[in-house]
Amino acid sequence: MDEKKLAGTIQGEIEKTTSEKATVIIKDSIAKLTGQFSSYQSVVDAGHIAANFEQIREVVNEIDHPGKKPFVPPPKVSDELNGKEFDVVIVGGGIIGVAIARELSRFNLSIALLERHEDLGMDQTTHSNAMVHPAFLTEHGTLKWEMNYKGNAMYDEVASQLDVDFKRIGTLVVCENPEHELMIPVLMNLTKKHKDPVPKELNREELDKVEPGLAPNIKRGALVWNTGIISVFELIVACAENALANGVQFFLDTSVIGVQTEERSIKAVNTTRGTIKTHILINAAGLYGDKIAEFAGDRFFTIHPRKGETIIFDKSYQPIRTVLASFSMAGEREGYSKGGGLIPTIDGNLQFGPTAEEVQDREDVSTTSMGREILFNKFGLLTEQLKPYYEKPDKSKIIAHFAGCRAATYKEDFIIEPSKKVRGLIHVVGIQSPGLAAMPAIVERVKEIVTEEWHPAENARFNPRRKRIKPFSGLDDKEREELIRINPLYGHIVCRCEHVTEGEIVDALHRGIPVRSIDAIKRRARAGMGRCQGGFCMPRVLEIISREMNINKESVTKNGGKSFILTGKVKKEVRK
């Protein structure tokens, strides 16, 4: 079918499904959609309809709708970066961008990473459920699937090199009735096809050893053992610290507002803090990946944000040891999402989620009472069904409710490739779940692209290893006494919920990446992660940041931007 005829077919399918009229133009297998629709959901549906045609490589969706706001880049604030020049500039300081920086520091390349926020990983990365997924939940044959199964297998080595806690707790899929037991061979074949390790089939006695207290009607199940959990906060900081030690430079609070090309090659990047010259630009900008592509003259996809809400429980409520699922959940996937689940965290909390909701605003991280109720009712009921002897879920034990947006394209697959139009531009976009699991394989693929095109020499001084700050709460008495003897600040408990000491906070502030907010310390040292969510320790953490970073207390924020905690001195205002 030629492109003109295919465009007409897609237009007809869109009108049939949405009752809206769109104009479709196809060039080089890229479908561009324009028109005026009555709702945003119809716009998203139209994009997916076009993408579902196998002849379509990607979709640029420019359909207007009520409430659509034009993209306006942030204003330029300074020229302090003018004159700087790097071999490689990476746009985006999420786990993918930071891990790419670390991987490329293996070579004699000057590398800069630009992040628009005041800290790393503040969009998708730290709003994920921190699960290293098995590959059988992804669509076989896609790039997403390939990166998932390869990346999952690489995690043990990555975690070891970076000194990050990582556990393979497995996904336990249980049979609630005899009919479900017929699905075990199907799961076996599915995992084999997707190149996951073959699950272990378990009888009741074996199930009790893996997950005690299951409902009496559950007689059999299967353990997909390669599912893992990790702290995304610790992982991204570890990657950044190791990249920094190997020569990468980080520029926070720095947004890209333009890209300069010459003769279809990358020449420079315009930022809010000046212009940086480069000949390799890696677009790992997540939710704004299509905007960076447009700046460079190579937009062939559209990012549509998909919001997910998650709730986290206090450590006193932890009814499961594995990622627990049932064959009855197989038909409960939400659109293009895997549907969320019951997932323990590496630090001992239980989380329900995430949800999946298409939203217009890429910055929408709002939480709703409806989202909380959906999660609590869906997964709370599942917990009661599968673990009836354990105490029932209690809303009073919820300590956090957060949301984040995934950066999805309409093909719902990863894009990891050099630009077909602009030399020196590499796209690493559309990285949504299971992007965390796929991370090691993604950065390996980017490394291959760079080395095949530019053949950089190896960095003889590269060191892949990094040592973390050992949590005081995890030490035995003898180790604690020795640490306090060396540094008395480790004898001062600041966060009572998580038993975080002043020594840990001070050490976290002096690891190379600038830290100026309460939540940045929360992500690094867990101060404020516990039951009271910083109600007790926040004032003390603020004082420590002010003292150690030599900044006014009024300059310390909750989470960057204008989230200031203090406005001034009370006595000073009274005197006025």
The residues annotated with a catalytic role in the active site are 133
* 3-state per-residue secondary structure call for 525-545: HCCCCCCCCCCCCHHHHHHHH
Distance between CA atoms of residues 524 and 515, nearest Å: 10
Within 13 Å and on the Cβ side, how many CA atoms surround 279?
7
Helix axes 232-245, 518-525, angle to 10 degrees: 90
Do 426 and 283 form a contact (C-beta atoms < 8 A)?
Answer: yes
494 Cβ contact partners less than 8 Å away, ≥ 6 residues apart: 500, 501, 502, 505, 527, 537, 540, 541, 544
**What letter would DSSP give residue 309?**
E
Whole-angstrom distance, CA of residue 19 vs CA of residue 24: 15
The DSSP H or E segment spanning 137 is none
Q: Which two tokens stand for residue 348?
A: 């001992």
Tokens 């709703």 correspond to 368
Residue 221 has φ and ψ, to the nearest 5°, of -170, 180
The dihedral through the CA atoms of 382, 384, 389, 394 has a sign that is: positive
Beta strands 304-313 and 350-353 are antiparallel
Q: List all residues 6 or more positions away from 340 whose beta carbon is below 8 Å from its beta carbon.
A: 129, 308, 310, 334, 352, 353, 354, 355, 356, 375, 378, 379
State whether the Cα torsion 480-483-488-490 is positive or negative: negative
